[in-house]
Amino acid sequence: MKADVVVIGAGLIGAHTAVQLVEKGLRVMLVDPASPGGEQAASYGNAAWISSHSVLPPASPGVWKQVPKWLIDPLGPLSVRVSHLPRALPWLLRYLTSANTDEKLRTIAGHLRALLVDAPALHAEIARRTGLSHLIDEKSGLMHVYRDRAAYEADSLGWDIRRDLGIACEEVEADELARLQPNLTRDYSFGVYVPEAGQCLNPGAYCAGLVAHAEKHGARRISAGAVGFSKRGGKLQAVLTTQGEITCGAAVIATGARSGALSAQAGDRVPLESERGYHFMVEGGSNLPGPSTAVMIGDRKVVISRLEQGVRCAGQVEIASPDTKADWRRAEIMRQHLSAAFPSLDTSEGRVWMGSRPSTPDGLPVIGPASGVSGVYHSFGHGHVGLVSSARSGRLNAQLIIGEKPEIDLAPFSAARF
Ligand SMILES: Cc1cc2nc3c(=O)[nH]c(=O)nc-3n(C[C@H](O)[C@H](O)[C@H](O)COP(=O)(O)OP(=O)(O)OC[C@H]3O[C@@H](n4cnc5c(N)ncnc54)[C@H](O)[C@@H]3O)c2cc1C
pLDDT of the residue at 67: 76
**Nearest atom within ligand 1 for CA of residue 38:** 49
Q: Are 37 and 207 a contacting pair, CB within 8 Å?
A: yes
pLDDT of the residue at 79: 85
**Nearest atom within ligand 1 for CA of residue 225:** 42
DSSP symbol at 179 = H
Query: Residue 317: exposed, middle, or buried by beta-carbon count in 10 A (0-12, 13-18, 19+)?
Result: buried
Closest Cα to atom 35 of ligand 1: 9
Q: Are 8 and 383 a contacting pair, CB within 8 Å?
A: no
pLDDT, one tens digit per residue, over 204-262 is 999 999 999 999 999 999 999 999 999 999 999 999 999 999 999 999 999 999 999 99
What is the CB neighbour count within 10 angstroms for residue 418?
A: 14
DSSP reduced 3-state for 390: helix
Q: Are 379 and 366 a contacting pair, CB within 8 Å?
A: yes
Q: How far apart are CA 411 and CA 78, in angstroms?
A: 30
| Positions of the chain with pLDDT under 50 | none
Query: Mutate which of 255, 318, 323, 364 to test ligand 1's pocket (most atoms within 8 Å of Cβ)?
Result: 255
Report the Cα 160 to chain-centroid distance in Å: 23
The upper half-sphere exposure of residue 130, i.e. CA atoms within 13 Å in the direction of its Cβ, equals 30
Q: For the chain, which residues make up each domain, given as ranges?
A: 1-56+102-136+198-272+360-418
For residue 24, give the amino acid letter.
K
Query: Mutate which of 300, 302, 387, 390 to test ligand 1's pocket (most atoms within 8 Å of Cβ)?
Result: 387
pLDDT of the residue at 355: 98
Report the Cα 145 to chain-centroid distance in Å: 21
Residue 214 neighbours by CB under 8 Å, 6+ apart: 15, 18, 19, 21, 22, 28, 30
Q: Are 165 and 277 a contacting pair, CB within 8 Å?
A: no
Closest Cα to atom 3 of ligand 1: 46
Closest Cα to atom 22 of ligand 1: 386
Q: Measuring CA to CA, which residue among 7, 5, 9 is closest to residue 255?
A: 9
Q: Are 28 and 221 a contacting pair, CB within 8 Å?
A: no
DSSP symbol at 56 = S
In 32-139, the DSSP E strands lie at: 49-50, 78-80, 136-137
Q: How far apart are CA 34 and CA 329, in angstroms?
A: 26
**Nearest atom within ligand 1 for CA of residue 226:** 42
Q: What are phi and psi of 234, to 5 degrees?
A: 80, 0
CB-based burial, 49-75: b 16+ in 10 Å, e otherwise = bbbbbbbbbbbbeebeeeeeebeeeee
Q: Are 356 and 279 a contacting pair, CB within 8 Å?
A: no
Query: Mutate which of 52, 357, 385, 397 to test ligand 1's pocket (most atoms within 8 Å of Cβ)?
Result: 357
In 370-415, the DSSP E strands lie at: 376-380
pLDDT of the residue at 72: 76
Instruction: Please give all residues whose beta carbon lies within 6 A of any atom in ligand 1, as ranges.
Output: 8-14, 31-34, 40-43, 46-49, 225-226, 254-258, 277, 279, 303, 314, 355, 357-358, 380, 382-388
Closest Cα to atom 4 of ligand 1: 46
DSSP reduced 3-state for 100: coil
**Cα of 9 from ligand 1 centre, angstroms:** 9
Bridge partners for 250 per DSSP: 5
**Nearest atom within ligand 1 for CA of residue 227:** 41
DSSP reduced 3-state for 351: strand
Closest Cα to atom 52 of ligand 1: 46
pLDDT of the residue at 303: 98
**Nearest atom within ligand 1 for CA of residue 275:** 53
The fourth-level CATH superfamily of domain 1-56+102-136+198-272+360-418 is: FAD/NAD(P)-binding domain (3.50.50.60)
Closest Cα to atom 51 of ligand 1: 46
Residue 160 neighbours by CB under 8 Å, 6+ apart: none
pLDDT of the residue at 285: 93
Query: Residue 407: exposed, middle, or buried by beta-carbon count in 10 A (0-12, 13-18, 19+)?
Result: exposed
Query: Mutate which of 317, 334, 384 to test ligand 1's pocket (most atoms within 8 Å of Cβ)?
Result: 384
pLDDT of the residue at 46: 98
Q: How far apart are CA 260 and CA 238, in angstroms?
A: 19
**Cα of 404 from ligand 1 centre, angstroms:** 26
**Cα of 86 from ligand 1 centre, angstroms:** 24
**Nearest atom within ligand 1 for CA of residue 13:** 25
**Cα of 172 from ligand 1 centre, angstroms:** 33
377: enclosing H helix or E strand: strand 376-380
Q: H helices of 102-173, where? A: 102-116, 119-129, 149-153, 156-164
For residue 236, give the amino acid letter.
L
Q: How far apart are CA 284 and CA 289, in angstroms?
A: 10
pLDDT of the residue at 404: 97
